[in-house]
A = this chain, B = another copy of it.
Amino acid sequence: MNIGIVGLGLIGGSLGLDLRSHGHQVFGVSRKEETCQRAIARGAVDDASTSLTLMKNTDVVFICTPLGVMQATVEELIPHLSEDTVLTDVGSVKGWVVEAIAPLWANFVGGHPMAGTADSGIEAALRDLFVGTPYVLTPTETTPTRATQRVEEVVRPLQVQIYHCHPHDHDRAVAWISHLPVVVSASLIAACMGETNSTILELAQALASSGFRDTSRVGGGNPELGVMMASYNRAALVRSLHSYQGALNQMITWIEQEDWATLEVALKRIQAARPQFLR
């Protein structure tokens, strides 16, 4: 097939590398000419351009831009597409994206490949980035079945695990396991920063080891990404945050009341539950 990729960053570039190796012709669009040249040089695309006219003969187009410019990008892209072209995106939030883009293009299927690294940009693109990772598709009642099938046909050879769900179910699920951890983890660092006794703060900084490193990792990540996920998935995140406040308050009450037996039962249930999130 002829595949279009708009946005040649980590995800767009990695998709291009894999899809070319599976025999597709891949055409990429980036706002920057330099990125186009690097994408060609790295073998992520067969051809690249800063102009969306390059998308005119594509069968499937992956929108791989940041969420903030996705709607505007699709509006600009549409005049260049043939009616049969299937549009999909790789955004990490799906309710908002589907509501914004489905009305603009009938053959649209929301998607979220859940792979990545700490790096970004075309230089960070990797072959086989998606092997063994979940690829969520969020067709709705109005999504043509053929459109969903076409996207599946393209991404399945990347050895992804395909999941189908409603956009809002996706957003509530990722609020729990991706977005809530960011706020929980950032609040941990913020609380530690608030220690006003400099002797204790310096000691805490000196003594922190793998437990603190792991628990604080996602909270100390990219601030722009953190704000983006919070703003585009606000409702589901706030819902998860309120549940988290409840769980935390319960834990604090047990500790304050020295109810060690109940705390131990709870920690045992928590220990037993965790592996179900790590399959």
Which residues of A line the B interface, CB within 8 A? 114, 133-134, 136, 161, 163, 165, 169-170, 172-174, 176-178, 180-195, 197, 199-200, 203-209, 211-224, 226-227, 230-231, 234, 237-238, 240-252, 255-256, 258, 260, 263-264, 266-271, 273-279
The residues of B that contact A250 with a CB separation of less than 8 Å are: 190
A251 and B186 within 8 A (CB): yes
Given contacts A187-B251, A245-B245, could you give 18 more A-B pairs where the C-beta distance is less than 8 Å? A114-B207, A114-B209, A163-B207, A177-B192, A177-B211, A178-B207, A181-B188, A181-B216, A189-B274, A191-B247, A194-B246, A205-B279, A216-B277, A220-B270, A220-B275, A223-B264, A223-B268, A227-B263
B245 and A248 within 8 A (CB): yes
A123 smallest CB distance to B (angstroms): 21
Cross-chain contact of A267 among B169, B205, B213, B223 (Cβ < 8 A): B223
Cross-chain contact of A241 among B237, B252, B273 (Cβ < 8 A): B252
B271 and A205 within 8 A (CB): no
A185 and B237 within 8 A (CB): no
A38 smallest CB distance to B (angstroms): 27
Cross-chain contact of A247 among B187, B218, B252 (Cβ < 8 A): B187
A183 and B248 within 8 A (CB): yes
Complex Cα spacing A186 to B194, Å? 22
A218-B215, A274-B216 known; A133 vs B244 contact (CB < 8 Å): no
B215 and A277 within 8 A (CB): no
A115 smallest CB distance to B (angstroms): 8
